[in-house]
C-alpha cells in the first residue's frame, strides 16, 4: 500500500513539473504563433503606388487626405500579440498607398533601432530574429521614391526609447540623413505637394515643445492623449511654430468611443497651409495591455463604410491596400 502511494506521489510530482512548461508553451503560442495568422487583405489596388501624381503641385501637403500607418515598423516585433500594429512591411505599405509612416526610434550605440515602447522591432517573426534598424527602413523608402518620384513619404519620427537629449537624438538622426541628403525635405513649414514630390518629408516629435532646440524638419508635437475616464474629449489643438496642429490620438479608448472620437476629429479638421490635422484610428483599448489586431478588425471596416467626408492625415493599425485606397480616393471624389 505504501508503495502505491509513493508511485502516485511521484507521478503527481512529474505532472507538476509539466505545468511551467505548459505555461511557457501557451505564452509562446499567444505571443508568437497567433500573430502570424493576424493578417490583412493584401489584394493589390491598381495605381496605389503612384496615386499622388494626380494631385496639383500647388496644393499644401496638409490639404491632402493622406493615408498613414501607426507604429509602421511593427510587422515583426517582440511580444507581438500586444505590440504588433501592422501586417505589411514598410515597402508593402508604400506600394499600397500609405504615405505617412509613424517611426519610433531608440538609440543603440551609434544606430537607431525601430521600437514600440520598450519592445524592439525585428527582421522576421521568429523569436531569434535580428533587430530592425533605421537603415533598413530608409533603404525601403529610398528604393520606393526612386521608382515613384511623384510620391512623397511623411516620415514622422518620435523618440520612443532612450535617455538622449533632443540635441543628441537629432545629431544621430542627422548622420543618417546626411548619407542621402538629396532624398530629404527638412522644411520647418508645411510644404506644397510639388515641393514634397520625390522626397522624404521629416516631421519631428523628439523634443520638448516648450524648449524647441532641434532644427531638422517640421515640429509636430501634441500632448499625450491617454486616459479613457472622460470620453467626451476628442481632438486637441497645439501651436507648432509656423502652423497649428490638431490631433486626435485617443489611444486608450475602446472601439465605440474611438470611432466617435475619430468621426469628430475628421469633422473638426482644418486643412490649409497653416493648419494640419492628424486623426488616428488606432487604439489599444481600455485594458493595460491591448490587442491592436482585435480592435482594428472592428474599426477598419467601420472606416471602409463611413460616409462622413474624410479630411487631414488618417493613421490606422493593420493597414491594407483597400484601406489606403478608401482614404486617398477622397482627394479625387466629385
Pull the grid cell for residue 270.
482644418
The residue count for the chain: 334
Per-residue model confidence as pLDDT tens for the chain (334 residues): 455 666 666 666 666 666 676 666 655 666 677 888 899 999 999 999 999 999 999 999 999 999 999 999 999 999 999 999 999 999 999 999 999 999 999 999 999 999 999 999 999 988 889 999 999 999 999 999 999 999 999 999 999 988 898 899 999 999 999 999 999 999 999 999 999 999 999 999 987 766 666 789 999 999 999 888 889 889 999 999 899 999 999 999 999 999 999 999 998 888 889 999 999 999 999 988 889 999 999 999 999 999 988 999 999 999 999 999 999 999 998 6
Cβ-based neighbours of 146, under 8 Å, separated by 6 or more? none
Q: Is the torsion defined by CA of 75, 79, 80, 86 positive or negative?
A: negative
CATH numbers and ranges of domains, the chain: 38-332 (3.20.20.190)
Pull the grid cell for residue 116.
514600440
What is the pLDDT, as a whole number, of residue 289?
85
Report the alpha-carbon distance of residue 83 to residue 307 in Å, rounded.
30
What is the pLDDT, as a whole number, of residue 33?
76
Residue given cell 490631433 in the structure block:
247
- Nearest partner of 312 among 281, 282, 283, 276, judged by Cα: 276
For residue 218, the SS3 value is strand
What is the pLDDT, as a whole number, of residue 1?
47
Report the alpha-carbon distance of residue 133 to residue 78 in Å, rounded.
14
Do residues 206 and 237 touch, judged by C-beta distance below 8 A? no
Q: Provide the CB-side half-sphere exposure for 115 (13 A, CA).
A: 17
Chain mean position to CA 65: 17
What is the pLDDT, as a whole number, of residue 19?
67
Q: What is the pTM of this model?
A: 0.92
Instruction: Tell me whether residue 243 is exposed, middle or buried, using C-beta atoms within 10 angstroms of its C-beta: 0 to 12, 13 to 18, 19 or more.
Output: buried
- Nearest partner of 318 among 288, 289, 298, judged by Cα: 298
- Nearest partner of 324 among 134, 85, 41, 81, judged by Cα: 41
Amino acid at each position: 500500500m505504501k508503495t502505491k502511494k509513493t508511485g502516485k506521489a511521484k507521478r503527481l510530482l512529474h505532472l507538476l513539473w509539466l505545468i511551467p512548461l505548459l505555461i511557457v508553451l501557451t505564452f509562446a503560442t499567444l505571443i508568437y504563433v497567433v500573430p502570424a495568422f493576424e493578417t490583412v487583405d493584401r489584394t493589390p489596388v491598381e495605381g496605389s503606388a503612384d496615386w499622388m501624381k494626380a494631385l496639383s503641385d500647388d496644393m499644401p501637403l496638409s490639404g491632402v487626405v493622406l493615408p498613414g500607418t501607426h507604429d509602421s515598423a511593427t510587422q515583426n516585433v517582440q511580444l507581438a500579440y500586444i505590440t504588433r500594429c501592422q501586417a505589411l512591411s514598410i515597402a508593402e505599405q508604400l506600394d499600397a498607398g500609405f504615405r505617412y509612416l509613424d517611426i519610433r526610434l531608440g538609440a543603440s550605440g551609434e544606430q537607431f533601432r525601430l521600437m514600440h515602447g520598450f519592445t524592439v522591432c525585428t527582421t522576421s517573426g521568429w523569436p531569434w530574429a535580428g533587430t530592425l534598424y533605421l537603415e533598413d527602413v530608409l533603404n525601403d523608402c529610398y528604393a520606393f521614391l526612386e521608382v515613384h518620384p511623384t510620391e512623397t513619404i511623411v516620415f514622422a519620427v518620435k523618440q520612443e526609447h532612450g535617455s538622449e537629449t533632443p540635441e543628441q537624438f537629432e545629431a544621430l538622426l542627422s548622420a543618417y540623413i546626411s548619407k542621402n541628403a538629396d532624398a530629404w525635405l527638412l522644411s520647418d513649414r508645411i510644404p506644397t505637394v510639388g515641393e514634397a514630390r520625390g522626397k522624404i518629408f521629416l516631421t519631428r516629435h523628439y523634443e520638448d515643445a516648450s524648449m524647441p532646440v532641434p532644427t531638422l524638419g517640421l515640429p509636430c508635437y501634441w500632448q499625450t492623449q491617454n486616459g479613457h475616464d472622460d470620453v467626451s474629449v476628442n481632438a486637441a489643438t497645439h501651436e507648432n511654430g509656423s502652423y497649428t496642429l490638431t490631433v486626435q490620438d485617443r489611444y486608450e479608448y475602446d472601439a465605440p468611443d474611438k470611432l466617435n472620437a475619430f468621426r469628430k476629429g475628421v469633422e473638426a479638421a482644418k486643412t490649409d497651409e497653416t493648419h494640419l490635422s492628424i486623426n488616428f484610428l488606432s487604439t489599444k483599448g481600455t485594458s493595460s495591455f491591448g490587442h491592436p489586431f482585435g480592435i482594428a478588425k472592428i474599426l477598419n471596416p467601420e472606416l471602409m463604410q463611413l460616409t462622413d467626408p474624410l479630411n487631414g492625415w488618417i493613421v490606422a493599425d493593420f493597414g491594407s491596400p483597400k484601406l489606403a485606397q478608401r482614404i486617398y480616393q477622397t482627394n479625387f471624389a466629385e
